[in-house]
Amino acid sequence: MCGIIGVAGRGEETLDTLVHGLSKLEYRGYDSAGVALTGDRIQICKQSGKIEELRAALESRSITGAAGVGHTRWSTHGPPTDENAHPHLDCTGDVAVVHNGIIENYQALRDELVGAGHAFQSDTDTEVVPHLIEDALAGGADPEAAVRQAVGRLEGSYAIAAVLAGEDRAFAARNDSPLVLGIDEDAVYLASDVPAFRDHTDRVVYLDDGEFATLSVSGEPQWRVSDADGNTVEKAVDTVDWDPEETGKSGYDHFMLKEINEQPRAIRQCLRGRVDELSGSVDIDDLGDLSPAGVQLVACGTSYHAALHGAQLFQGAGVPAQAFLAHEYAVAPPPVGDALVVGVTQSGETA
């Protein structure tokens, strides 16, 4: 799981906006971070380590741009090094890309691109994307079409954001990885999660799988969402009603410690209005009249350990229950056909 952010319309505050947004997404990854801003050329700074390491690296740099993207990484392909940190560039240095997810056909694409003369600088799956965009541009595609063509060749899960030299726009696409827009009066944002831009706006647009977004520095419309064929998709603008402070560390040293200490309150809020203490019953209307033959808990990593314990608790109460690793559950028929399936996820990999 990684965190991405993009912005158009913040002028001289573009860099500060990106870095601040990354600090709000550090719970999604903290082994490296980086930013790329676009103007006449792409300016990039990336660094292994936490956001503080990126801030230190930026102190000696003067980076400006009309639009930009940023990324905080949790390693999947390749170790946490400066080279593997996002954003990634093409051979010309005119295309910068950040990505959250896993590109399943990256090795075939990489082999093809290397065979065509492209030089790779990292071990990541993400780096194939800027090179694909580079090829599309060389073939005569305009910037938006080039990004679309590259995305169209990807298999797997992705939330991708890209900026190109000479363009005052940012482009984004999603499939099976979260991506949300933030709409302000004179700026527009994109991110893996709302906290990245909640300090600036409470108006959001959630992208669905297969959708493509264009963010412009100025003009009308300043943002546009379209489908895979380029047709405009009318999206509802929602309003989030929670305070930005709720997404911070609240004085704790790190997010995991905060989450542990918030569990009692989270459970109380979840059960409020659903527990009848006099009758000793719990009423969860959202489950309707379900009467499953058993419960299947699907998870990965430490969440799988929690699922194993949860299965034991269900079994102790006389309810048939099993825990499954998500990557196995996706390819093997579940042993219980009529079951309540509960996804348990902290990292996002289960999804």
**Mean of the per-residue pLDDT values of the chain:** 89
**244 band by pLDDT with thresholds 50, 70 and 90:** low
pLDDT band at 349 (very low <50, low <70, confident <90, very high): very low
Are 24 and 18 contacting, i.e. CB atoms less than 8 angstroms apart?
no
Contacts 24+ apart (CB under 8 A), 118-123: 118/90, 118/91, 119/91, 121/83, 121/88, 121/89, 122/78, 122/83, 122/84, 122/88, 123/77, 123/78, 123/79, 123/83, 123/84
Cβ atoms of residues 168 and 38 within 8 Å: yes
In which band, very low, low, confident or very high, does the pLDDT at 246 lie, cut at 50, 70 and 90? low
Q: 135: buried, middle or exposed (CB in 10 Å: 19+, 13-18, 0-12)? A: buried
At residue 248, does pLDDT exceed 60? yes
Give pLDDT, residue 335: 66
pLDDT at 89: 97
Q: Which one-letter amino acid corresponds to residue 30?
A: Y
pLDDT over 70 (residue 351): no
Q: 132-141, 214-223, 244-253 — which one is most confidently predicted on average?
A: 132-141
Please give the structure tokens belonging to residue 111. Answer: 């082999």
Q: What mean pLDDT is predicted for residues 262-267?
A: 85
* Whether pLDDT at 305 is above 90: yes
CA 212, CA 313: separation in Å to the nearest integer? 43
* Count of other CB atoms within 10 angstroms of residue 224: 16
**Position 348 pLDDT exceeds 50:** no
Cα 303 to Cα 262, 344, 347: the distances in Å are 17, 6, 8
Take residue 333 and report the two structure tokens written for it: 């028929």
Residue 247's pLDDT is 65
pLDDT of residue 260: 83
- The per-type count for the chain, helices as H runs and strands as E runs, is 8, 19
- Cis check: omega of the bond before 320, within 30 degrees of 0: no
Does position 250 have pLDDT exceeding 60, yes or no? yes
Q: Say if residue 221's pLDDT is above 80.
A: no
Task: Write the DSSP symbol of residue 251.
Answer: T
As a whole-number percent, the residues of the chain with pLDDT over 70 amount to 95
* CA atoms of 348 and 350, how far apart (whole Å): 6
Query: Is pLDDT of 324 > 80?
Result: yes
Question: What is the spatial distance between Cα 167 and Cα 146, in angstroms, rounded to a whole number?
Answer: 13
Summarised one tens digit per residue, pLDDT across range 30-80 is 789 999 999 999 999 999 988 899 999 999 888 999 899 999 987 776 778
pTM: 0.79
Which tens digit of pLDDT belongs to each residue from 134-157? 999 999 999 999 999 999 999 998
